[in-house]
Amino acid sequence: MTQASVPDTEETQALKTGARALSAFFEARGTPVSNSVALEALAASLGLNNWRTLRAKLQAPTVAPPAPEPDVFSDGVFSVDAIYRDNDQLYGDFMNGVSALHAAILVQMDRLHDCGSATEVSILGVEDRRTKKLVLSPNYPHELDLLETRAAIEVLCKLARPHLGEPPKRGVSEAEEWDRNQLAVEFWTAVTVNPGNDPTKNKNSACVEELNDILDEMFEPLLKGDFSEPETHFVDAAGVEHEVDVLDLLRRLISLAETGLDLTALQWPGEGGVFEILQIKELLEQEPTRIQLAFDGVDVE
């Protein structure tokens, strides 16, 4: 019984047409080449032994790629265990993040968004669900609690200052960029300075109090009238007054502070600045309007 032949694919037909054209080309120049030889030549040009091999490849049924496996970690790469501060009830959640430390910060902010300080949690441990390993394990429950906003930004100021460098000697745009970065460091240093742990000695104590209250107020909806964003002024060390964009200055401070740091490194608060940078970056991401409102119509000195 003769096996039915497999019909040519479009690619096979195209190559056969090309072989006939190739034969005609050589015949017109006095070098007759049969159609079968032209087909063998085309196969050789594609790195195959003969036309039969090439045709078999072209006639082979197309195998559909395997369907992608479902992402079993789509709800979060890290499993975070925590405990409510007010009643010692255990809490757990899945969270993504650049690191386990970041995930720990995100869980704490997520709880604050739920109902403010009434749902504050402390981190007990973080597991990487991909490796099923405990990658973050505090020695005591409050070791990874979120910091006072003022204190965290103060750490960023200390980290940022060495990366400011000297003013550029040439280039107008470079000089302007350096001036804005310098203004960012000076502005936030003035805001967060803590002379002798007495907040009343800080001329900007009202702003500091507003900043520190943001974490407790995250769950409260902002009123429509809160988005006016009036001007904020800052008098620098040279006595020059600037109208400033508070959020831009905070982004610049973060950028300088994280220079050369590995934000996936495992560092506890106060160890190297990674925790503080991640906390303030996330606060800026989630609550830019509240940060802006802390400086509503304020003159910072």
> Which two three-digit tokens encode residue 251?
């982004």
Q: Please tell me the pTM assigned to this model.
A: 0.73
Res 24: pLDDT:
83
CA distances from 229 to 52, 254, 280, 300 (A): 75, 22, 20, 15
- With a cut of 70, say whether residue 172 has pLDDT above it: yes
Res 96: pLDDT:
92
87 DSSP assignment: T
* Cβ–Cβ < 8 Å for 184, 253: yes
HEC per residue, 242-297: EEECHHHHHHHHHHHHCCCCCCCCCCCCCCCCHHHHHHHHHHHHHCHHHHHHCCCC
For the stretch 231-266, pLDDT in tens is 888 888 888 888 889 999 999 999 999 999 999 888
| Rounded Cα distance, 151 and 13, in Å | 74
User: How is the chain split into domains, by residue range?
Assistant: 10-59, 78-136, 149-300
**Mean pLDDT rounded to a whole number for the chain:** 84
| Rounded Cα distance, 71 and 266, in Å | 26
* Cβ–Cβ < 8 Å for 213, 288: no
Burial 124-137 (b: 16+ CB within 10 A, else e): bbbbbeeeeeeebe
For the stretch 55-66, pLDDT in tens is 777 777 777 777
- Residue 194: pLDDT band (50, 70, 90) is low
Res 75: pLDDT:
73
For the stretch 100-155, pLDDT in tens is 999 999 999 999 998 888 889 999 999 999 999 999 999 988 999 999 999 999 99
For the stretch 213-232, pLDDT in tens is 888 888 888 876 666 667 88
* Cβ–Cβ < 8 Å for 120, 111: yes
> Which two three-digit tokens encode residue 210?
């507003």
| Rounded Cα distance, 203 and 195, in Å | 10
